[in-house]
Copies of this chain bind each other. A is one copy, B any other.
Amino acid sequence: MQELTATWMRGGTSKCWVFDRADLDDLGPDRASVLLRVFGSPDPRQVDGVGGATSTTSKAVILAPATTGDVDVDYTFAQVGINEPVVDWGSNCGNCSAVVGMYALRRGWVRPTGELTTVRVRNTNTGALIVQQVPTPGGQVEEDGDEYIPGVPFPGVGVRMWFPDPAGLTTGALLPTGSPRDKLLFEGRAVEATLVDAGAPVAVLDAAGVGLTGSETPAEITARPGLLAALDGVRRQASVRMGLSADEASAERAVPKLAIVAGGPASGEADLTVRMLSMGDVHPALAITGSVALTMAAITPGTLVADHVSPDAEGRIRLATPSGVVVTHVGVLDGTPAVAVTRTARRIADAVLALPGEPSTIGGGVR
């Protein structure tokens, strides 16, 4: 029985299995086969492995100390298939990102420096740099935390993740149409939209323009006859305007996202109310990339978002989502605008995973 050392960590609202790249590569060049076997895939229940049988609990994080001077950690994200024997290496996961700094500190790859230690992380899937600020009170590595985020009923260590210079990653410009405000057709009439590309391309609409208050639950929005289809039509127009697709019919389902915004709730607990549509559904909270786009829009004069909100004295923006309030931060990093979100992280377990079968037959036990 071969074995594989791993650490199980919660990052934000995801559960992530963290591997030292050297340990994984000791088992051979086929990382995907090893991950599939230890996760128990393919199997809709992942009953014979460490996978949790949902997309947010079938995730792997592969880490190594970086060899270039300006980065501390190389971070590769793997979405491990559940029903299919496939590992997706094509994107990063914002939630799992939050575990990287804590893991690197605990392993001694990065030394704590004062109350807050900066860990520079390169995501190899996308090439993006993520600059993390991990609390190290008194210059010590600390695992117990007391911060909360929406969707997680237990506390963790609050890690601030900065995304430097997020504008135009997909289209080359923060405002792909050159304007902070465009007009699109919704149910046959013109409505104003802000088309922004930061973190990910997002089309922003005012809730009032589409007959909403903005504070509706996802179920209430879904229940409005024809509304999701009409909003998807607007989203497809935005895709063409942003240069993401040649025509509306060929717009991707996931890009751009659509955000419906309104002023903050009467309680005063947030500055902006957001309902995000992704893949044809209303998101239960807010994707990290979506929060980056809205924050960049908030600091851009003339956008629909800037009408409602601007950062407070500490550079914070508070976004009310269906799951609770998400806080983002605006700042400057390496001379360019940067946006940060705070996610909590926690080590769940240190583990040694059993890997059945001989090296040559890994993955061959599937039937």
Q: Does A155 contact B (CB under 8 A)?
A: yes
Q: Does A160 contact B (CB under 8 A)?
A: no
Q: Does A10 contact B (CB under 8 A)?
A: yes
Bound Cα distance A48, B40 (Å): 21
Bound Cα distance A50, B151 (Å): 17
In the complex with contacts A1-B143, A143-B1, A354-B143, A348-B48 CB distance below 8 A: yes
The minimal Cβ–Cβ distance linking A188 to chain B, given in whole angstroms, is 41
User: What does the 1/0 interface line of A18-49 toward B look like (CB < 8 Å)?
Assistant: 00000000000000000000001011010111
Let me know if A352 and B350 touch, CB within 8 A. Answer: yes
Copies in the complex: 2
Q: Does A353 contact B (CB under 8 A)?
A: yes
In the complex with contacts A47-B151, A143-B1, A351-B354 CB distance below 8 A: no
Let me know if B40 and A366 touch, CB within 8 A. Answer: no
Among B47, B143, B346, B356, point to the contact of A48 (Cβ < 8 A): B346
Bound Cα distance A14, B348 (Å): 20
Let me know if B348 and A349 touch, CB within 8 A. Answer: no
Let me know if B349 and A155 touch, CB within 8 A. Answer: no
User: What does the 1/0 interface line of A55-92 toward B look like (CB < 8 Å)?
Assistant: 01100000000000000000000000000000000000
Let me know if B13 and A47 touch, CB within 8 A. Answer: yes
Interface centre among A45, A50, A352 (most CB of B within 10 A): A45
Let me know if B47 and A367 touch, CB within 8 A. Answer: no
The minimal Cβ–Cβ distance linking A254 to chain B, given in whole angstroms, is 23
Bound Cα distance A156, B357 (Å): 11
In the complex with contacts A349-B50, A351-B351, A43-B153 CB distance below 8 A: yes
The minimal Cβ–Cβ distance linking A9 to chain B, given in whole angstroms, is 9
Let me know if A348 and B42 touch, CB within 8 A. Answer: no
Q: Across the two chains, which residue of chain B brings its CB closest to A9?
A: B354
Ordered nearest first, which 5 A-B pairs have the shortest CB separation? A48-B154, A351-B351, A349-B351, A350-B352, A349-B353
